[in-house]
Structure 1
Amino acid sequence: MFRLILVGIIVSLYFILSIITLPLAWLIGLVMNKRAKQYFSYFLVSKTFFLVRLAAGTKVDIRGLENIPKGQPVLFAGNHRSYFDIILNYSILPPLMGFVSKIEIKKVPLLAQWMVNMNCLFLDRSSPKEGLKMIHDGVDKLNQGISIFIFPEGTRAKSDDAIAEFKGGSLKMAEKANVPIVPVAINNTSAIFEDQFPYIKKSHVIIEYCEPVYPDRLSREEKKFMAQHIHDTIVAKVSANKAEL
């Protein structure tokens, strides 16, 4: 209960302070430029999520950062178990990077504004047309030098052993923008919150950034199975890392 209260205080303070920091972000964008506003927003959110990580008592074993290509945007593709997948990755990865989120989040006041500032994309799973638009917007972000993080399963898995097949459409943005895809294997994040909802539990998490896949180096035949290859890479890593928890 103590950890839940502490995390709640941190998140509540952040949103209360948004009365000041959101207009400040807007002013920075007006006086300087849009990119400065994005960096300012990323700094505030990533540091807040780092505090949430500490308050939750989460031990994060971070592996494979050397596999992330430097000096260019990438498409991160990971398995999805918990809201903490987003919190932890934002506390680890450098700017600029946006997540793909479900469209319903766009209706949440304040949260939606911060997500827009941080280059997040919103996916309407009920509309194929909107799905294509999201991919197009993702390509634009990648071409602007902004990395994107997606969960190709489309929803949260019920266990680390139940990683659903990946939807290949979302990976197309990497192919169209000619950027590498970094598979991300995430272990045990649901133990922090979802497994004993509504309480937060001190937990050990492993996040491993695997060797990148370069779509432009694949043959036409290999591209057909790219989503399956990335899925299998993550499944293998999650299975191997599970033994260490």
Structure 2
Amino acid sequence: MKFLYYIYQVCIVLPILLVITILTALITIAGCTLGSAHFWGYYPGKIWSRLVCFFLLIRVKVNGKENIKGKTSYVFVANHQGSFDIFLIYGYLGRNFKWMMKKGIRKIPFVGKACAEAGHIFVDRSGPRKVLETIQKTKATLTEGTSVVVFPEGARSFSGHMGYFKKGAFQLADDLQLAVVPLTIDGSFDILPRTGKWIHRHNMILTIHKPIPPKGKGTKNIQEILEESYKEIESSIPQKHKGMVLNPDQD
């Protein structure tokens, strides 16, 4: 069955996904240029992500949708198991949001331009001034119930385990006094490990935990929410992936 699934990927799914990815990027670029980036920067990507999972026969389950309220801005933080984290969150979180992503994505043909037009935030760590500019742009984005999604590990896992969390997302939440919502991703690593070359059929689960409101303001608040978020995310990870494993390229 695995061999048949590999043939299906290459002969049927890959051409389809290539076409719908380019179409999604073009629709996003045109929509954001002529209309509202709030709408066109989110819904085409949401549909694209669901189509990817549909054509690859990947089932998705979402737990905890009742934990988030409409028209409320949040800072969502998630573990980063693999490439399919993008499709899981974009397609099934059910919230209009912007990604905080590596600036290298801007160079990907069609996709980079679409992300820029959609208002997603490219993180530039080349110097303190660039970091400050990134934070200011993110603050301006968090309006009208729009949220931001961050992978605080900063890089995909090599093992399925979580690495350490960087403080950037929690600093942003502290500055704006927004609640942090931990998200647990399970199954993405089994579909396509970072070092893998083939997609494996596997279910994915997205667990939306209860928002963690600010407990104050400043360094203590940032550290407490970071630690609480880490524990919440890890609580819904299968036993085989529990425990921190340092990721060599997080820095």
TM-score after normalising by structure 2: 0.82
Distance in 1 (CA, whole Å) between partners of 2:192 and 2:91 is: 17
Distance in 1 (CA, whole Å) between partners of 2:33 and 2:63 is: 37
Partner of 1:225, secondary structure, is: helix
Overall identity of the aligned pairs, in %: 23
Cα deviation code 1:151-172 (max 9, x no counterpart): 0011112233x31111112222
State the one-letter code of the partner of 1:14.
I
Q: Is the Cα–Cα contact under 8 Å of residues 32 and 117 in structure 2 kept in the other structure?
A: no
State the one-letter code of the partner of 2:23.
L
Distance in 1 (CA, whole Å) between partners of 2:232 and 2:95 is: 25
State the one-letter code of the partner of 1:181.
V
Match of 1:33 in 2: none
More helix per residue: 1
- Structure 1 spans left out of the alignment, 5+ residues: 30-35
Structure 1 position 234 matched with structure 2 position 233: yes
State the one-letter code of the partner of 1:138.
T
79-88 vs 106-115, greater mean Cα deviation: 106-115
TM-score after normalising by structure 1: 0.84
Gap change, CA 1:146 and 1:180, over 3 Å in 2: same
Cα shift at 1:219: 6.8
Gap change, CA 1:99 and 1:61, over 3 Å in 2: same
Match of 1:47 in 2: 47
Match of 2:94 in 1: 94
Gap change, CA 1:5 and 1:103, over 3 Å in 2: farther
Distance in 1 (CA, whole Å) between partners of 2:27 and 2:217 is: 48
Gap change, CA 1:116 and 1:199, over 3 Å in 2: same
Match of 1:13 in 2: 19
Match of 2:138 in 1: 138
Cα deviation code 1:136-184 (max 9, x no counterpart): 2111111353210000011112233x31111112222122222211000
State the one-letter code of the partner of 2:180.
I
Distance in 2 (CA, whole Å) between partners of 1:196 and 1:55 is: 23
Q: Is the Cα–Cα contact under 8 Å of residues 165 and 228 in structure 1 kept in the other structure?
A: no
- Structure 2 spans left out of the alignment, 5+ residues: 1-5, 243-251
Match of 2:247 in 1: none
Match of 2:129 in 1: 129
Cα shift at 1:41: 3.7
Distance in 1 (CA, whole Å) between partners of 2:107 and 2:182 is: 30
Cα shift at 1:53: 0.6
Cα deviation code 1:205-235 (max 9, x no counterpart): 22101111111x4476444322122112211
Cα shift at 1:26: 4.6
CA RMSD of aligned residues (A): 2.6
State the one-letter code of the partner of 1:170.
A
Aligned residues: 235
State the one-letter code of the partner of 1:129.
R
Match of 1:150 in 2: 150
Cα shift at 1:199: 1.7
Q: Is the Cα–Cα contact under 8 Å of residues 29 and 113 in structure 2 kept in the other structure?
A: no
Cα shift at 1:196: 7.5
State the one-letter code of the partner of 1:110.
F
Distance in 2 (CA, whole Å) between partners of 1:191 and 1:12 is: 22
Cα shift at 1:241: 9.9
Structure 1 position 206 matched with structure 2 position 211: no
Matches within 5 A, 1:49-198: 49-160=49-160, 162-194=161-193, 197-198=196-197
